[in-house]
Amino acid sequence: MRIFDPHIHMTSRTTDDYERMAAAGVRALVEPAFWLGQPRTSVGSFTDYFDALVGWEPFRASQFGIRHHATIALNPKEANDPRCADVLEVLPRYLEKDRVVAVGEIGYDSMTAEEETAFAAQLQLAIAHELPALVHTPHRDKARGTERSIKVVAESGIEPGRVAIDHLNEVTVRTVKESGCWAGFSIYPDTKMSPPRMVEILKEFGTDRVLVNSAADWGRSDPLLTRETADLMLAQGFTEDDVDLVFWRNPVEFYGQSGKLELEDDQAERGPLFEGNSILRGGS
């Protein structure tokens, strides 16, 4: 089984996680830029974070044979801090990077005017840089937040097929499916969405334009819940091909719209520098 986790925050995970993910079949992933638990107070903290997403973290992932891509954005929560507003100015440089395959996570947290300004501006950046967009839906007031997100997406002029609306549940899935956007689901140990509920949603709404992710981060989360959901799909009558569609071909199709997805391992081609360097111990 091959798995592409379309949303996981590896910066917060350990090498043990990378090892277990690789053993479970995870061969590619996308790490969206988001907040780090501790609020940032300057543009410099963001650029250092973005640098890690296009520098150190792909290198770490490559040690375990996992292809790492990123999405870059000013996240909704920190869009409310005027000290971070200028992050929007540095985004164009990062959106041109080879492995940046979408603008994200953008969207709403508390549905403020500042969030809406940043959300709309970054949808325009997605259009200008010919990238898809990854939209986070709020935890509080989720149903109305999702509807309002779909409205902002429609007003922006971006093609709905180039937008994924994430962290959906039974209540919010239908409006997203009807909008033409991709439907994203984050499988969590006890919040958001569970493997059994996910399989029921797949039975009702089908496997088309669906992205299933672990969204594992610094909170209580589990990077192997993608695999657990895939196993449950098989146990409940879905075919191997259904599983491959949901956990590989769908994310490849969605992020492939960037024209920048690189799934061949180019590390091996780069010569003797990389031979014999498996796992770095950080001995320096």
Chain positions contacting other proteins, by CB under 8 A: 47, 51, 54-56, 58-59, 90, 93-94, 96-99, 259-260, 266, 269-277, 280-284
3-class SS of residue 275 = coil
- CB-wise, 155 or 265, nearer to other proteins? 265
Cβ closest to other proteins, residue 16 vs residue 264: 264
Nearer to other proteins, 60 or 209 (CB): 60
Nearer to other proteins, 16 or 269 (CB): 269
* Minimum distance, C-beta of residue 52 to other proteins, in the bound complex (Å): 10
Buried b (16+ CB within 10 A) or exposed e, 169-205: beebbebbbebebbbbbbbbeeebbbbeebbebbeeb
Given a contact cutoff of 8 angstroms between Cβ atoms, the answer to whether 208 and 221 are in contact is no
Residue closest to 156 by CA, chosen among 173, 181, 178, 174: 181
Residues 6+ apart with CB under 8 A from 144: 111
Output the smallest distance, CB 266 to other proteins, in A. 5
If the CB atoms of residues 171 and 280 are measured against other proteins, the closer one turns out to be 280
- DSSP classification of residue 114: H
Residue 240 or 275: which CB sits closer to other proteins?
275
Minimum distance, C-beta of residue 54 to other proteins, in the bound complex (Å):
4
Residues in the chain: 284
Tell me the C-alpha to C-alpha distance, in Å, between residue 189 and each of 18, 29, 132, 192, 226: 18, 20, 28, 8, 11
User: How far is residue 2 from each of residues 26, 92, 226, measured CA to CA in Å?
Assistant: 6, 32, 11
Minimum CB–partner distance for residue 140 and other proteins (Å): 35
Q: Supply the minimum distance, in Å, between the C-beta of residue 273 and other proteins.
A: 5
Q: What's the closest the beta carbon of residue 101 comes to other proteins, in angstroms?
A: 12
Distance CA 188, CA 53 (A): 23
Nearer to other proteins, 53 or 181 (CB): 53
CB of 167 vs other proteins, minimal distance in Å: 28
